[in-house]
Amino acid sequence: MKIDLSLLRRYEEVTEYYAKSWRDIRPWGILRAVRSHDAVFCWFASWHSLLPVLFARLWGKPSIVVTGGYDVANEPDIGYGSQCGGLRQWVARAVIRHASLLVANSEAACREVVQNGHARPEKVRLVYHGIAPFTTAGPRVRGDQVLTVGDVSRGNLWRKGLLPYVRAARFLPNYRFLVAGEYRDNAIEVLRAEAPPNVEFLGRVSDDQLASLFLTSKVYVQASRHEGFGMSLAEAMLGECIPVVTKVGALPEVVGETGVYIENQAPEEIAKGIKLALELGEDRRKLARIRVQEMFSLEQRELGLLATVEGLVQEYPNGFVDGSSRLGLTARSITSAVRTQKGRRGRSAG
């Protein structure tokens, strides 16, 4: 979200709308903001984007929703995804139905938003995420260490495969297994109870620390059950880690032929995949980096988002001042809105 916000701010004046929970929703404030802006841009189809999208439709303003994660997932066996049913499914599908355009971050996400979210295929645009290059400089020595990244939560024990990853460390006692991610609940106690001595839990790390981990680890593991893209995976590949992943969601799109695929989340299977990755040469590491640089650059993300906005200009020519595109943005954790129709900076919706 922050990357998209930064890219769009290069071309438009932006108002951010911050809604951390449904209690932060202010309907009249949102309505006033939508009326005073040219369009709405939301990250994810959920409760925080429902009113902005509905108000945009009410006032004849275009809306764009970036989708392709929890909002369109349907994994009932692990309790993951709005499309498992209930009120969350209704809200997500309402947002998807009423949005002018939907941006998906992978082909897998495109399929899910159509199949699970019941979106019309012609409304969906594929724009891959953009991965920012590392700013950390200096020589790096890769240690005998394996890395995975993800919030440490009950849901991610299986959704991101944290628990089988920790269990896999028993089969490779001479390698350090690192887990980087903020502790969200008591899942850390579950992992510590299962962890052999060669597992280290780092907790939340800074961006620079994370970049250093990518640049000094030999293998990155993403043994997930569902992934709409895999940002940490792509960042690890940019740092020339050899990826070991399951064949789910967008992971094969991100990895291509640069890594090792495992059939399931069994700890033995993960350990086997890591061993195969460790046997691959330096050329494979470089291929992983080149793939990310060529397919998931910030430039392609920027061009894709701009093309989406330009498409709205053609569809809603009367909704923009002098035919130019001025966008309003809204999201769960961070929202923005751009220049108003009168050319002034848009005001906050909160």
Q: Where are the domains of the chain?
A: 2-130+297-331, 145-295
pLDDT, one tens digit per residue, over 277-331 is 999 988 999 999 999 999 999 999 999 988 887 777 667 655 544 344 444 444 4
- The CATH classification number of 145-295 equals 3.40.50.2000
Helix axes 207-216, 231-238, angle to 10 degrees: 60
Label residue 45 by pLDDT band (50, 70, 90).
very high
pLDDT over 90, % of the chain: 68
Provide the 3-class DSSP secondary structure of residue 206.
Answer: coil
Residue 152 near residue 234, CB atoms below 8 Å: no
pLDDT, one tens digit per residue, over 94-125 is 999 999 999 999 999 999 999 999 999 999 99
- At residue 188, the pLDDT reads 98
- pTM score, two decimals? 0.86
**Residue whose structure tokens are 């001595």:** 197
More confident residue, 11 or 68: 68
Strands ordered across the beta sheet of 199-203: 199-203, 176-180, 145-149, 219-222, 242-246, 260-262
Do the domains 145-295 and 2-130+297-331 match in fold?
yes
Q: Domain 2-130+297-331 class?
A: alpha beta
Label residue 1 by pLDDT band (50, 70, 90).
confident
- At residue 307, the pLDDT reads 85
